[in-house]
Amino acid sequence: MKILVIGGGGREHALVWKLRQSPRVTKIYCAPGNGGIADDAECVAVDVKSLDSMVALANQIQPDLTVVGPELPLLLGVVDEFKRRGWRAFGPTRAAAQLETSKSFAKEFLQRHHIPTAHYAICNSSDEVREALPHFHTPIVVKADGLAAGKGVVIAQSKDEASSVAAEMLSGRMLGEAGLRVVLEEFLQGDELSFLVVSDGERVAPLVAAQDHKRAGDGDTGPNTGGMGAYTTPAVVDDKMRDWLITHIARPVVAGMKAEGAEYKGVLYCGLMMTARGPMVLEFNCRFGDPETQPILMRMESDLLEAMEASIDGRTSDGDFKWSGDAAVCVVMASGGYPGSYEVGKKIGGLDYAAKLDGVKVFHAGTSKRDGAYYTAGGRVLGVTARAAELQTAVERAYEACAKISFDGAHYRKDIAARALKKK
């Protein structure tokens, strides 16, 4: 089988790496890919912001299956367009992807279907923000309604700050069109959890749960990012909690979308807060998370291609996945200045040494390759991922690998999975 993976980040590198392990895969293309993905797949040029560009590419290479990595192609309706042409694509339609592409749609959907989530208000103007603010205690979460590449969420410590952040978003200066509507939300306390399932529109099969680290600095300080690291162990959620999440969140979402005429096929990522009141939905992603995909797929021992085909064909079952009992950890190495402005084109050293470490796989997120050398080409550069029987060992291996890799301005969090280790 010929596979096309759309995207070019760490998540897509992990998907390419895992799909290559399927005995039925003969060729993988990645569009546009990156320097590291080029070692595992044939990288081909595409504009992921253009439906015509993606259609033209698929028409040219005729893949047996297309896997959509990032959110923007879903918003553009790439799955709908491919299906219309009789091409197999793994991912939700544009209507189903509204769970991610519109925060206000997601909040109203959750309310309609009685799925637990934070108290909220949807505001289209600064006047509406002022009217809503008295109904909230501080801190207040201010979210841009549209896609903002993981940067559309601000935790405001005062009502004045919430008001000014919302005004910046609504003006279009901060995030463009993504912020022309905002959602105010109560601030929830607890542990964040990434809970992913694959759905065929009716049934769901859970992946192992993971925990992401969104803030740029150690101790969860600094601005929100696209994710600075993640880990997964069998202890992140027990069987009882997993079943509760399937019964009360994942299945009701899939059933609700079907009832509303937008059947949900593909991966559903439920971003949850485990609060004293129970699990609450923070957000949905309609694709694999980044960087959670890297450690999750390190633990997967079944065929990812089979599960994707089952989703498309309407035959997903609870037992579609087999998992290692190991732990896996991903540490993101980022460019100096990320998530703010940063420079690219810095030469990366030490990748060969890191790759030789037991249980380590370095996934490339923002890299380019020329003359046999790798260079930085994005904010998040590498996802240094390690698997081991114990979480402590996996963490040590990941950081040992990070210490062998160098590029000008490199920074990474030193406390990925630290909370979990402390609890142990």
Domain ranges of the chain: 2-90, 119-186, 191-313, 327-423
Tokens (6 digits) for 191: 């542990």
pLDDT digits (tens, 9 = 90+) for 311-325: 999 999 977 899 999
With a cut of 80, say whether residue 20 has pLDDT above it. yes
Q: What span, in angstroms and rounded, lies between the C-alpha atoms of 268 and 287?
A: 6
- Residue in the block written with tokens 């940063």: 342
Mean of the per-residue pLDDT values of the chain? 96
Give this prediction's pTM.
0.95
Tokens (6 digits) for 400: 């040992």
C-alpha of 79 from chain center = 18
* Nearest residue to 328 via CA among 288, 289, 412, 385: 385
pLDDT digits (tens, 9 = 90+) for 360-414: 999 999 999 999 999 999 999 999 999 999 999 999 999 999 999 999 999 999 9
* Nearest residue to 332 via CA among 249, 226, 234: 226
Tokens (6 digits) for 103: 């925060």
Fold of 2-90: Rossmann fold (3.40.50)
Task: State the sign of the Cα–Cα–Cα–Cα dihedral 64, 70, 71, 77.
Answer: negative
| CATH number for the domain running over 119-186 | 3.30.1490.20
pLDDT digits (tens, 9 = 90+) for 404-417: 999 999 999 999 99
With a cut of 70, say whether residue 150 has pLDDT above it. no
Fold of 327-423: Glycinamide Ribonucleotide Synthetase; Chain A, domain 4 (3.90.600)
The mean pLDDT value for 169-183 works out to 89
The percent of residues in the chain predicted with pLDDT above 90, rounded, is 93
Tokens (6 digits) for 405: 């890799």
pLDDT digits (tens, 9 = 90+) for 346-360: 999 999 999 999 999
Q: What span, in angstroms and rounded, lies between the C-alpha atoms of 382 and 333?
A: 5
Task: Give me the pLDDT at residue 173, please.
Answer: 85
The percent of residues in the chain predicted with pLDDT above 70, rounded, is 100
Which of 354-381 are b and which e, b meaning 16 or more Cβ less than 10 Å from the residue's Cβ? beebebbbbbbbbbbbeeeebbbbbbbb
Phi, psi of 417 (to 5 degrees): 70, 10
Task: Give me the pLDDT at residue 224, please.
Answer: 83
Which stretch of 146-150, 288-292, 327-331 has the lowest confidence by average pLDDT? 146-150
Give the containing element (helix H, strand E) for 197: strand 191-200
Which residues contact residue 92 at a Cβ distance below 8 angstroms, ignoring those fewer than 6 apart? 74, 79, 99, 264, 265, 266, 286
Q: Please state, as a whole number, how many other Cβ atoms lie within 10 Å of the Cβ of residue 271.
A: 19
Helices (H) and strands (E) in the chain, counts: 15, 23
Task: Give me the pLDDT at residue 162, please.
Answer: 96
Tokens (6 digits) for 53: 């560009």
Helix axes 103-112 and 251-259, enclosed angle (nearest 10): 100
Tokens (6 digits) for 162: 């919430």
Task: Give me the pLDDT at residue 292, please.
Answer: 97
With a cut of 90, say whether residue 147 has pLDDT above it. no
Q: Report long-range pairs for 320-323 (Cβ below 8 Å, ≥24 apart).
A: 320/198, 320/205, 321/205, 321/206, 321/207, 323/208, 323/234, 323/299
Tell me whether the CATH fold assigned to 191-313 matches the one assigned to 327-423. no
pLDDT digits (tens, 9 = 90+) for 251-276: 999 999 999 999 999 999 999 999 99
Tell how strand 120-123 and strand 182-186 pair up: antiparallel
The mean pLDDT value for 77-94 works out to 98
The mean pLDDT value for 1-17 works out to 98
Which residues are registered as beta bridge partners of 266? 199
Secondary structure class of 261 (helix, strand, coil): coil
The mean pLDDT value for 89-98 works out to 98
Which of 398-423 are b and which e, b meaning 16 or more Cβ less than 10 Å from the residue's Cβ? bbbbbebbebeebbbbebbbeebeee
CATH class entry, domain 191-313: alpha beta
Q: Say if CB 230 and CB 196 are below 8 A apart.
A: no
